[in-house]
Structure 1
Amino acid sequence: MRHAIILALAAGVPASGFAQDTAPDGPAMSYGQRPAYLADKLEDGELKDTLEACLGQSPERTDFSVGHRGAPLMFPEHTVQSNRAAARQGAGILECDVTFTKDKELVCRHAQNDLHTTTNILTTDLAEKCTQPFEPASGDTEASAECRTSDLTLEEFRTLEPKMDSSDPTAETAEAYQGGVAPFRTTAFADGADLMTHSESIELFRSLGAKFTPELKAPSVEMPFDGMTQEDYAQKLIDEYKAADVPPEDVWPQSFNLSDVRYWIDNTEYGGQAVYLDDRYEAEDEDEGLIDPTDPETFKPTMQELADMGVNYIAPPIWMLITLDDAGEIVPSAYAQEAKDAGLEIIAWSLERSGPLAEGGGWYFQSVNDTIDSDADYLTVLDVLAQDVGIAGMFSDWPATVTFYANCKGL
């Protein structure tokens, strides 16, 4: 019994005897233990005092807290169970990354070609349909595979069992390749998880009292695919919200492809909240080489040009929005200021994805890694993003942290 309660608390699942709140339009909510754990680690000061004073409050759902693939810190991503956990942690907006099957049905997967790391496909008879069947590790060559949703029909996709996103590059068998889960994650909640189609995610999220932020994933196959163009694909996503009578104000469609965003703006009622997922830091200029990620003036199109196109929301990774000043303090970056000056709303990604921060925050915190040395820095960075940058929302792999902060600060 004691073990069951500990797991429930860690997962943010209500357990008898602990503070929770039942929303009229969603499941019972609980912060679990993680927000208190992070607040305890903060250095003494105003932020710690403020947050610790909020630890006894009842959680409320907030659109500031966005479930990134649900709650994949502990649950298999893009599953029914992962999103239920995110909703119980107060996420007001939930995400389905959208891709398509061989018969052009929309399903929730982070990438069209991730089935070999997010499901059990390699240990089933469907493994022979994979674009690249499993190859065992040999010498200096790592084990590999590539299995796409477009390799399978929807009926075949539904037979797969989801798992924590992982693989073991040293594996000599397909069964061993299923391992490799990061030590800061867990398989405790992976058994019996359920995959979803995009349309099923709409019904689930609505039943949970949450809003919607679908991401149109870049296809791994050449487009058009069996007659379906990229614009057909972008429209199909919107059509499933229209068919479900979901109002545009409840949907934030996302894409890294600016053409998708512009299509939604120019051709649908759902373009006003279309989110441009900004990866221009990876772009290259023919004359100048790699664009300087610290200098937004080198980005094309510029922030103002995006706004002039009708883009209202931009979503960069956390590190692009912050930097260190001469005193080593975390402050808003020039990128953040340029976006705000152009009138763009900012959504950041993704908190709680880096694991323990004792030795720095890795990719998501690269612009401020010199000062990242404690898990408490999840809250420190979130505070700068919310109060100084002024973000409109935060994606998180464990939404309870963001929900707690947002509730405490009245966001």
Structure 2
Amino acid sequence: MKTPAIALLAASLGVSLALAGSAAAQAPGGPAELGPRPFYLVDQMEDGPLKQQLAQCKGPFSTKNFSISHRGAPLQFPEHTREGYVAAARMGAGVMECDIAFTKDLQLVCRHAQCDLHTTTDILARPELASKCSRGFEPADPATGRKASAKCCTSDLTLAEFKSLHPKMDGADTNATTVEGYMNGTPSWRTDLYVDRATLVTHKEYIELVKSLGLKFTPELKGPEVPMPFEGRYTQEDYAQQLINEYKEAGVDPKDVYPQSFHLGDVEYWLKAEPAFGAQAVFLDGRDEEDKAFDNMKPETWKPSMQELADKGVKILAPPLWMLVTAKDGKIVPSVYAQEAKKAGLGLIAWSLERSGPLTSGGGYYYQSIKSITDRDGDTLALLDVLAKQIGVIGVFSDWPATTTFYANCMKLD
């Protein structure tokens, strides 16, 4: 069951989106519409000076580059859809993310992963397209413990076929024995209220939209889930270059683009082949999942080191929220990772706020280093305050940008 606060928020954004009209009305420094959620989070904070300060912050509120839209506004809208991006812009996100994947005919589209169409679209309910999936739907088998699964990739479809799909909220019921049951997997703290009219977008369409909004771009080159070169001819370098070419063709200023990748080789490629864009390239740090020895409090486990990253030309490092903090004496404090990154002169961006659902049970993956002191939704703002004031991050990705926009306005951040 949705909480009353979430239901109210969803209703308010539905009206807001319906009244959007021309998306071009949004611009840097322009007005932002936050809805009730940031104020709900303030109410849920522990009593203290920060809560008092934020409770007195009444606006007006404006667009902030500190507020980075993570996949649009996926707390309530299907990710990487036009409607999600417009909602994020109205909430004051100054930077918009498009995760980049490629289709069978080598066109770039916005998807979180190359092979997530079975959980983010209606492809399994479309037999003519489901038949093209890398692996079709397999129902759960309670007798053997097998979970339901499928694998449907953008590279299985042409651009035209991709554009014919209808997005849905990301999720799947792996205990399901039918396609319908498998697709009905939206987490209870999200909503399907805005699914019916949501629209998938290509990378070029995303560029056109964000450009019309007067906002900045952060495209993420997703790791291919098929052998490269794809079909023996499309290399990783081709993929990385095509992303940049679409900004050049659209006449976008390189200073407005923050290309990002979990693959350090992509960042190094941009630094060498496209230095104007590479200067703002973001290395997304996923080493915690790639290396079992990684420990955010032990520099000897970081390969490469912070200084080695800086020496390679990396200017901006983007780890998950938890890597930047730890718990000490019942408080959130900067981690050794955060301290060493700053010593090496690396700018920091954190991901992803508002992705964990209710925080009463500790917040899961994104809060793992401070789980022992996380027990209420208001801890979202307590964490954000440490990231901004004690660590000095230059931006924070959020699934609901109103929260980061609210904080940035209250603290007079850019």
- Under a length normalisation based on structure 2, what TM-score does the superposition of the two structures give? 0.93
Look up the match of 1:278.
Answer: 285
Residue identity in the other structure for 2:351:
W
Take 1:371 and 1:215, find their aligned partners in 2: how far apart are those partners? 32
Look up the match of 1:72.
Answer: 74
Stretches of 4+ aligned residues off by more than 3 angstroms? 3-8, 22-28
| Residue 15 of structure 1, CA deviation | 9.1
The answer to whether the 8 A contact 1:25-1:207 is kept is no
1:155-211 deviations in Å (ceiling 9; x for gaps): 111110000001111222212211111011000111111001001100011112211
Q: Secondary structure at the match of 2:94?
A: strand
Residue identity in the other structure for 2:56:
A
The answer to whether the 8 A contact 2:296-2:336 is kept is no
Take 2:265 and 2:27, find their aligned partners in 1: how far apart are those partners? 39
Is 2:39 the partner of 1:32?
A: no
Range with greater deviation from structure 2 (366-375 or 300-309)? 300-309
The answer to whether the 8 A contact 1:349-1:394 is kept is yes
Look up the match of 2:163.
Answer: 158
Look up the match of 1:128.
Answer: 131
Distance 1:28 1:60, change over 3 A: closer
Look up the match of 2:90.
Answer: 88
Look up the match of 1:248.
Answer: 254
| Residue 142 of structure 1, CA deviation | 1.3
The answer for unaligned runs of 5 or more in structure 1 is 17-21
Is 2:362 the partner of 1:355?
A: no
Residue identity in the other structure for 1:183:
S
| Residue 136 of structure 1, CA deviation | 1.1
Residue identity in the other structure for 2:119:
T
The answer for unaligned runs of 5 or more in structure 2 is 1-5, 20-24
Take 2:100 and 2:380, find their aligned partners in 1: how far apart are those partners? 28
Look up the match of 2:150.
Answer: 145
* Map 1:212-227 → 2, pairs under 5 A: 212-226=217-231, 227=233
Q: What is the aligned length? A: 398
Take 1:136 and 1:281, find their aligned partners in 2: how far apart are those partners? 32
Is 2:56 the partner of 1:49?
A: no
* Map 1:155-234 → 2, pairs under 5 A: 155-226=160-231, 227-234=233-240
Look up the match of 2:304.
Answer: 301
Take 2:18 and 2:240, find their aligned partners in 1: how far apart are those partners? 41
1:111-130 deviations in Å (ceiling 9; x for gaps): 00000000000010200000
The answer to whether the 8 A contact 1:65-1:90 is kept is yes
| Residue 296 of structure 1, CA deviation | 2.5
| Residue 291 of structure 1, CA deviation | 2.9
| Residue 279 of structure 1, CA deviation | 1.5
* Map 1:254-265 → 2, pairs under 5 A: 254-265=260-271
| Residue 24 of structure 1, CA deviation | 5.0
The answer to whether the 8 A contact 1:5-1:15 is kept is no
Distance 1:34 1:136, change over 3 A: same
Take 2:75 and 2:27, find their aligned partners in 1: how far apart are those partners? 27
The answer to whether the 8 A contact 1:8-1:14 is kept is no
The answer to whether the 8 A contact 1:252-1:273 is kept is yes
Take 1:168 and 1:87, find their aligned partners in 2: how far apart are those partners? 31
Take 2:198 and 2:101, find their aligned partners in 1: how far apart are those partners? 19
Take 1:342 and 1:174, find their aligned partners in 2: how far apart are those partners? 50
Distance 1:283 1:113, change over 3 A: closer
Residue identity in the other structure for 1:310:
G
Look up the match of 2:410.
Answer: 408
The answer to whether the 8 A contact 2:272-2:278 is kept is yes
The answer to whether the 8 A contact 1:324-1:330 is kept is yes
The answer to whether the 8 A contact 1:11-1:74 is kept is no
Residue identity in the other structure for 1:258:
L
The answer to whether the 8 A contact 1:12-1:30 is kept is no
The answer to whether the 8 A contact 1:12-1:32 is kept is no
| Residue 131 of structure 1, CA deviation | 0.4
Distance 1:11 1:63, change over 3 A: farther
| Residue 25 of structure 1, CA deviation | 6.1
* Map 1:377-388 → 2, pairs under 5 A: 377-388=379-390
Q: Secondary structure at the match of 2:278?
A: coil
Q: Secondary structure at the match of 1:367?
A: helix
Take 1:133 and 1:160, find their aligned partners in 2: how far apart are those partners? 16
Residue identity in the other structure for 1:255:
S
Take 2:209 and 2:18, find their aligned partners in 1: how far apart are those partners? 22
Q: Secondary structure at the match of 1:290?
A: coil
Q: Secondary structure at the match of 1:381?
A: helix
The answer to whether the 8 A contact 2:29-2:62 is kept is no
% same residue = 57
| Residue 280 of structure 1, CA deviation | 2.0
Look up the match of 2:313.
Answer: 310
Take 1:159 and 1:152, find their aligned partners in 2: how far apart are those partners? 10
* Map 1:91-130 → 2, pairs under 5 A: 91-124=93-126, 125-130=128-133
| Residue 12 of structure 1, CA deviation | 8.7
Distance 1:77 1:229, change over 3 A: same
Take 1:122 and 1:283, find their aligned partners in 2: how far apart are those partners? 30
